[in-house]
Structure 1
C-alpha cells in the first residue's frame, strides 16, 4: 500500500439499499479492505449486491469524502471509513492491515517548507507509513 486519497466532502449521495449495506459494513471495519473483500463479506451476511455495484458505491463514497482510499503496492484500491474528517495520515500493518489514523503536523510543516523553497503553492499530499503492527511483530 502506498498512496492515499482523502477527498473533501462535497457531494450528497442518494440513499439506496446497496449504499446503506456497504456503508454499514464500512462502519464495522477498522482496516482498509478491497472492493472484493467488501463484496465477499456482504455475500457472507446474505446481502446480494453485485461486485460492480460495490465498486461504484465505494467510488461514490470516496468522491464524497466519506471514505479514504489507499493504493496497495500492486495498485489495488482499498477503502476505509476514517474517524477523522480532517486531513490525516495512516500507519498500516503490511501483514494484517491494522490501521491507525495519525495527525502529522511535522509532515505538514515539512511539506509547506519544501514547497515554498521550490516556489510551489496550493499544496496537497499523501503520506502513509507501512510496517508491522505490535501483534504481527511479535509473531515474526
Structure 2
C-alpha cells in the first residue's frame, strides 16, 4: 500500500465528488480550477494506485480513454454506464462469470480474468432522445 500524500488525498476526494466516471484530464482540470498545484502525471499515478488497491474503478470508455470513479463495491463487479449522462450502475453478472470460465476452460486457459462493462443510454436519456 502506498503512503497517503496530500496529492493522493486530493485525487481521492475529487474522485469521490464526481457521480460517474471521469478522465484523469477532467479530474486534473477540476483540481486546478479549485486552486490545486497538483500535476497531471501525479493525478495519473494516484488514480492508477487507487484502482490497483480497489478504491477506484477503472475502465476504458467507448472512445478508448481510461476513465475512473470512486469504487463503492469491493470485489469483482461490472457496470452499466450511460454514454450520455454517465450514470453508472454496479451489477453482478453471474452468467458472464460462468461464460468466461467455460470459454477459457474450453480453450485450455486457467486463472481467467475479464472486464465487462456495458455502455448504453439510461432510461432518462433514452426518453429524452425519443422526445426530440
Where do residues 37-56 of structure 1 align in structure 2 (5 Å cutoff)? 37-56=26-45
**CA positional deviation for 1:110:** 1.4
State the match for 2:20 in structure 1.
31
Q: Point out where structure 2 has 5 or more consecutive residues left out of the alignment.
A: none
Q: Give distance in 2, aligned partners of 1:107 and 1:87.
A: 12
**CA positional deviation for 1:131:** 0.3
Q: Is the 8 A contact 2:54 2:71 kept in 1?
A: no
Q: What is the count of residue pairs matched by the alignment?
A: 129
SS of 1:97's partner is: coil
**CA positional deviation for 1:68:** 1.6
- 2:66 pairs with one of 77, 81, 86: 77
Whichever structure has more helix as a proportion of its residues is 2
- 1:112 pairs with one of 101, 119, 131: 101
State the match for 2:9 in structure 1.
20
Q: Is the 8 A contact 1:39 1:54 kept in 2?
A: yes
Q: Which has the higher contact order (CA 8 A, sep 6+)?
A: 1
Calculate the TM-score normalised by the size of structure 1.
0.84
Calculate the TM-score normalised by the size of structure 2.
0.89
Q: Is the 8 A contact 2:80 2:120 kept in 1?
A: yes
